[in-house]
């Protein structure tokens, strides 16, 4: 029997599900996988509890589950969630919240 796993990031890590990017150009040309860029936008699926500052106090997370964000192109760790590739990054690698 398969069990459903729940991923809970630690410290200041953020679990992001990349948003699907257009697979065609505005003129209708279908892009092959070899030329597609990795998406830099995604939805936050889970967040850690925060990290500690130099005084040992917890620094809370700024981002929240459900927010759409832009993140740095390089960095983080790709992980498989079901049949999808998600990303586990540090909060500092989130550049903007999309409203």
* Domain contains 38: yes
Each residue of 46-92: pLDDT tens digit?
999 999 999 999 999 999 999 999 999 888 899 998 889 999 999 99
* Domain contains 4: no
Size (the chain), residues: 99
* Domain contains 57: yes
Question: CA-CA distance, 40 to 37, in Å (whole number)?
Answer: 9
Closest among 64, 58, 94 to 76, alpha carbons compared? 94
The CATH number for 91's domain is 2.30.33.40
The parent domain of residue 29 ranges over 13-98
* Domain contains 1: no
- DSSP-derived secondary structure for 43-83: EEEEE---EE-TTS-EE--S--TT-EEEE-SS-SEEEEETT
* Domain contains 65: yes
* Domain contains 93: yes
How many structural domains is the chain composed of?
1
**Reported pTM:** 0.78
């Amino acid at each position: 029997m398969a069990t459903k796993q729940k991923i809970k990031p630690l410290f200041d890590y953020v679990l992001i599900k990349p948003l699907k990017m257009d697979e065609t150009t505005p003129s209708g040309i279908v892009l092959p996988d070899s030329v597609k860029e990795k998406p830099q936008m995604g939805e936050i699926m889970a967040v850690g509890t925060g990290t500690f500052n130099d005084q040992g106090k917890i620094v809370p997370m700024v981002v929240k589950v459900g927010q759409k964000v832009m993140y740095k192109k390089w960095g983080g760790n790709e992980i498989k969630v079901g049949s999808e590739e998600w990303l586990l990054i540090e909060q500092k690698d989130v550049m903007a919240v999309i409203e």
